[in-house]
Chains A and B, each alone.
Chain A
């Protein structure tokens, strides 16, 4: 019995502007998103992920750094504690509860992903605004800098940056991953700022005597942010994957009392063939979370695209 409501929706949408009164870009995007199954899937994954990582200290059945099952570990034969009562995923190479480590690991992943994205966003917004607002030589200098950073493969750049730190810790990972994202944001914002610079409404605002600062921050920047917002949800996924890659290669936090999914993957490299489940869980988590962010980002892009709006 969906027909009546469907019909009502259609009439509402036909009624157009009157039903639309005072609806902002964000509100109308939200209306589209609310009905998109893809967005809802992504949003569910992400909310679960955030919820789990926030509540993980209480959800985790055991201390993730306590080698409670160490007596079951027999190094010589790659014996790893199997699934048993109270340990739904068994133990790891050091006899610690694998399930607890997985739960607590989501915390690190969330922190790294969000912080790296925010720092990258802040840097990218600054550079992109500078380049887009001033144009001319400022634009050239900033963009050459960005080109240099983009000319290196992003993961390689992140490795180099984290290798530069004498003693890597969780913050060096964040910085390394964030710096890699800066040029992406900067270039994206600069592009859309430049498009705005030559747009009719900016010309119209100029013709009204609006001051340059207001032109940049009220007329150009807000109109250029759409693609950047979308990109940041996609970057969240990349940041999580990059951070995991760094940890996997041993450039992450060496302190393995704080578990992290990439690091967990790296730890079990030698036993992949005999105990694939130890790789399966952290890898699966990384993939699912990254997928969640990507699904959200892609649907957000569609919803915010003014061309697809009705």
Chain B
């Protein structure tokens, strides 16, 4: 049984006097225990909203969440506020994008780590402090006992993200959601943080949902990848297969837009033309059609359904990219 089973998760933002906006549209995916699953897509495709919906962090008013999110067989969407509060931090951890603004600026790091321990594991303050120092040590913060009494502004960006990871993992949740955890960091630190995450989820057996727009992150970390476009999953595949043979034109475009070191100098970058349109046009045809190089007439008339194309792959496209060479795919 999967640890997390997201089925037809739909989030509609409603405002009085405005047309409802569907940010996430029937998204389904599974996370097995210990598995790392990537949610990939460009800004505004609904990645972050998906993660907030799973954590139950969307505002009650204004956001209508439907579908189901089964965690160990319990539908998180049907839990009361109080029950959900007990789950957060204990069973489900989350790491946010900006490590500076995600830490409380006026209380020391130590208190922020022990807060979770006291809350979910009923630890007395002293014991929690020792545990906190151990946690900071585990995420690679040198001199952890001294760091406990420091404030977020005294830590470097990488340290802060390490501290946040320590806080998120303090109660050993079985599922960790990382929402673009490396976006606010510089490249060298990014690599360190990713290595740390990889190591920790491996050691603790934590399942990880990695939300990112960076395909490099996906390549290094994820077992399975869901590519989101305009609120829907357009392609789902294992990492190797996705990189070897992207089938959806969007995934293909994303991969071929990455600049390559071995490309001849002077070769131009290869972007996907256009940008995500505000109103998701999934109701009539494919949302990607206006930007799609493989567009057919049917694409603007009939909404493509999600199809199982074998090998655990799902695809939502009328005219997918042909796999480059047949043997390579099966390999």
Which residue from chain B places its CB closest to the CB of A219 in the assembled complex? B104
Q: Which residues of A contact B106 (CB under 8 A)?
A: 24-25, 222-223
**In the bound complex, do residue A214 and residue B115 qualify as a contact, i.e. CB atoms below 8 Å apart?**
yes
Chain A interface extent, by class: 20 to 34
* CB interface residues, B 270-285, toward A, < 8 Å: none
Give the size range of B's interface with the partner: 35 or more
Contact of A208 among B116, B146, B153, B154 (CB under 8 A): B116
Q: Are A209 and B105 in contact (CB under 8 A)?
A: no
**Which B-chain residue is minimally distant from A199 (CB atoms)?**
B101
Asked if B55 CB lies within 8 Å of chain A CBs, one says: yes
What mask results when residues 70 to 105 of chain B are scored 1 for a CB within 8 Å of chain A, else 0? 000000000000000111111001101010011111
Taking CB atoms, residues of chain B closer than 8 Å to A22 are 108, 146, 149-150
**Is A17 at the interface (CB under 8 A from chain B)?**
yes
The residues of A that contact B57 with a CB separation of less than 8 Å are 203, 206-207
Given A207-B89, A208-B116, A210-B115; A223-B96 close (CB under 8 Å):
no
Quick check: B98 and A200 within 8 Å, CB to CB? yes
Smallest Cβ-Cβ distance to A198: which chain B residue: B59
The verdict on B168 contacting chain A, using a C-beta distance below 8 Å, is yes
Determine if B153 and A200 form an interchain contact, defined as CB atoms under 8 angstroms apart: no
Q: Give the interface SS of chain A, mostly helix, strand, loop or mixed.
A: helix
Complex Cα–Cα for A211 and B90 (A): 13
A10 close to B (CB within 8 Å): no
Q: Are B101 and A208 in contact (CB under 8 A)?
A: no
Segment 100-125 of A: residues with Cβ below 8 Å from B: none
- Assuming the A-B contacts A199-B101, A200-B101, are A209 and B120 also in contact, with contact meaning beta carbons closer than 8 angstroms in the complex? yes
Q: Are A20 and B89 in touch, CB under 8 angstroms?
A: no
Q: Are B88 and A209 in contact (CB under 8 A)?
A: yes
B130 within 8 A of A: no
Considering the complex, which residues of chain A in the window 22-36 have a beta carbon less than 8 Å from any beta carbon of chain B?
A: 22-25
The minimal Cβ–Cβ distance linking A113 to chain B, given in whole angstroms, is 28
Query: Given known contacts A17-B155, A207-B55, is B115 in contact with A218 (CB within 8 Å)?
Result: yes
Question: Nearest Cβ distance between residue A52 and chain B, in whole angstroms?
Answer: 35
Kindly list chain A residues whose C-beta atoms are within 8 Å of the C-beta of B55: 207
Q: Which residues of A contact B156 (CB under 8 A)?
A: 17
Contact with B along A283-310 (1 / 0, CB 8 A): 0000000000000000000000010010
Q: Which single residue of chain B is at the shortest CB-CB distance from A201? A: B104
CA of A204 to CA of B57, assembled, Å: 10
**Chain A residues within 8 Å of B105, by CB:** 25, 201, 223, 306
Q: Using Cβ atoms and an 8 Å threshold, which residues of chain A touch B119?
A: 208-211, 214
B234 CB → nearest A CB, Å: 28
Q: A21-B146, A306-B105 are in contact. Are A204 and B88 (CB under 8 A)?
A: no
Whole-angstrom distance between the alpha carbons of A207 and B149 in the complex?
Answer: 23
Chain B residues, CB < 8 A from A223: 104-106
Chain B minimum-CB-distance residue to A25: B106
Task: Say yes or no: B96 contacts A218, CB within 8 Å.
Answer: no
Closest to B59 in A: A198
Residue B167 at the A interface, CB < 8 A? Answer: yes
Would B151 and A208 count as touching, CB distance under 8 A? no
Contact residues in A for B146 (Cβ distance below 8 Å): 21-22
A218 — which chain B residues lie within 8 A by C-beta? 104, 107, 115
Tell me, yes or no, whether A164 is within 8 Å of chain B by CB. Answer: no
Mask, A182-211, CB within 8 Å of B = 1, is 000000000000000001110111111111
Complex CA distance for A214 and B104, rounded to whole angstroms: 13
Q: Identify the closest chain A residue to B152 (Cβ).
A: A201
In the assembled complex, how far is the CB of residue B238 from the closest CB belonging to chain A, in whole angstroms?
29
B164 within 8 A of A: yes
- By beta carbon, the residue of chain A nearest B168 is A208
What mask results when residues 3 to 27 of chain A are scored 1 for a CB within 8 Å of chain B, else 0? 0000000000000010011111100
Q: Is the CB of A200 within 8 A of B102?
A: yes
- CB atoms of B154 and A17 under 8 A apart: yes
- Min distance, Cβ B134 to any Cβ of chain A, angstroms: 18
> Which of these, A17, A23, A209, A219, contacts B89 with CB under 8 Å?
A209
A94 to B107, CA, bound (A): 58
Chain B residue at minimum C-beta to C-beta distance from A16: B154
**B246-275 interface with A by 8 A CB criterion:** none
Interface set, chain B 112-154, CB cutoff 8 A to A: 115-116, 119-120, 146, 149-151, 153-154
Rounded to whole Å, the gap between the CB of A51 and the closest CB of chain B is 32
CB distance from B113 to the nearest CB of A (A): 10
B213 to chain A, nearest CB (A): 19
Q: Report, nearest first, the 3 A-B pairs whose CB atoms are least far apart.
A: A209-B89, A208-B89, A209-B88
Given contacts A205-B115, A206-B57, 18 further A-B contacts (CB under 8 A): A17-B156, A22-B108, A23-B151, A25-B106, A25-B151, A200-B98, A201-B104, A203-B102, A204-B96, A204-B102, A207-B57, A207-B93, A208-B88, A209-B87, A209-B119, A209-B120, A210-B89, A219-B104
Q: List 14 A-B contacts (CB under 8 A).
A: A17-B150, A17-B155, A21-B146, A21-B150, A22-B108, A201-B102, A201-B103, A205-B104, A206-B88, A208-B167, A209-B119, A211-B119, A214-B119, A223-B106
Interface residues in chain A, defined as those with a beta carbon under 8 Å from any beta carbon in chain B = 17, 20-25, 199-201, 203-211, 214, 218-219, 222-223, 306, 309
Q: Which residues of B contact A (CB under 8 A)?
A: 55, 57, 85-90, 93-94, 96, 98, 101-108, 115-116, 119-120, 146, 149-151, 153-156, 164, 167-168
